């Protein structure tokens, strides 16, 4: 089976423009997270969509589902964990409690605050996860990437042609992701910034899926204003 996993565990501390987590802010005519969820629900290959929400906001999300999402029977809410990967594994545990373990289960993990994801990106993630076990959505780096180890001077300038910027979805065969994660010690787990790194630290290949510059992550006030302008809505702050 194919499972969407929308990650909305954060509380939006980088935004500071509203009391509510950024994924619940309005974009056009509805909250950001509903745009993202609707895109997943419209992907007919997605059997179920799990949404990891910060425990304080599960009730709010439940209300939104009941009021605005006719296909809510395909949606399951899961309380988020302390960080990104623990939210993912809360969802994995819930999936396996609901549907059992299987080598055929795929999980398409995605940031709730990337509502501009396209059906093409979702479909290509499904294909790549099925064929290769793990994939990451990326776009070629447009700007030169500069490495600075002390924050004051340049340590190195890598070849831009080899540089990509990571987006989401990141998608996996669930059995592979679990096996790799369980093999990590606590120190290794502590340096993980995203789920693909679980594979990279264990030298497991992660296939690249071409993302889209429009698939932006709404993290700052500036991003939010850009997203509002993209859909022609009013800026609310």
Partner 1 sequence: MINHIYQLASPGVFSIEYASTDLADKVILRPRFMALCHADQRYFLGQRSQDVLRKKLPMALIHECCGRVLQDPTGTFAPGARVVAIPNSPQSPDPIISENYRRDSRFLSSGYDGFMREYVDLPADRLVPCDGVPDHIAAITEFVSVTVQAARRFDRLAHARRNRVGIWGDGSMAFVLACTLRFLFPQIELHVVGKNARKLSMFSFVGATHFADDLPQGFSVDHAFECAGGEGSYYAIDDIIRTIEPQGAVILLGVSENKVAVNTRDVLEKGLTLAGSSRSGREDFVEAIRLMGDPAVQNRLNRIISIDDPVCQMEDIQRVFRTDLNTPFKTVFEWRM
- In this complex, which beta carbon is closest to partner 1, that of residue 83 or of residue 212? 212
* Binding stretches for partner 1 (CB under 8 A): 27-30, 34-35, 38-39, 41-44, 70-71, 115-116, 118-120, 123, 210, 214, 230-233
- In this complex, which beta carbon is closest to partner 1, that of residue 30 or of residue 207? 30
Smallest separation, CB 70 to partner 1 (Å): 7
Smallest separation, CB 153 to partner 1 (Å): 38
Smallest separation, CB 61 to partner 1 (Å): 17
- In this complex, which beta carbon is closest to partner 1, that of residue 127 or of residue 194? 127
Smallest separation, CB 123 to partner 1 (Å): 8
Ordered DSSP codes for the chain: -EEEEEEE----TTT-SSSS-GGGSEETTEEHHHHHHHHHHH-TT--EEEEEE-GGGHHHHHHHHHHH-TTGGGEEEEE--SSHHHHHHHHHHHHHHHH---TT-EEEEEETT-TT--HHHHHHHHHHHHHHSEEEEEEE--SPP-B-SSSSS--B---GGG-EEEEEEEEEEHHHHHHHHHTS-HHHHHT--STHHHHHHTT---EEEE--TT-----SHHHHHHHHHHTT-----
- In this complex, which beta carbon is closest to partner 1, that of residue 120 or of residue 179? 120
């Amino acid at each position: 089976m194919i499972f969407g996993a929308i990650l909305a565990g954060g509380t939006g501390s980088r935004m500071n423009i509203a009391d509510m987590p950024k994924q619940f802010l309005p974009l056009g005519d509805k909250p950001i997270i509903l745009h993202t969820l609707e895109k997943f629900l419209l992907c007919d290959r997605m059997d179920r969509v799990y949404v990891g929400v910060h425990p304080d906001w599960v009730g709010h999300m439940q209300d939104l589902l009941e009021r605005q999402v006719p296909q809510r029977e395909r949606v399951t809410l899961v309380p988020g964990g302390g960080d990104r990967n623990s939210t993912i594994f809360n969802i994995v545990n819930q999936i396996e409690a609901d549907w059992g373990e299987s080598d055929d289960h795929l999980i398409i993990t995605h940031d709730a605050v990337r509502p501009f994801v396209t059906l093409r990106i979702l479909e290509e993630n499904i294909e790549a996860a099925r064929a290769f076990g793990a994939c990451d959505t990326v776009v070629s780096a447009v700007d030169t990437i500069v490495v600075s180890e002390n924050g004051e001077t340049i340590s190195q300038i890598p070849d831009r042609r080899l540089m990509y910027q990571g987006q989401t979805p990141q998608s996996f065969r669930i059995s592979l992701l679990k096996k790799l994660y369980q093999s990590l010690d606590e120190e290794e787990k502590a340096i993980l910034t995203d789920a693909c790194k679980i594979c990279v630290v264990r030298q497991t290949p992660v296939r690249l899926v071409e993302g889209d510059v429009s698939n932006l992550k709404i993290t700052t006030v500036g991003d939010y204003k850009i997203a509002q302008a993209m859909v022609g809505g009013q800026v609310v702050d």
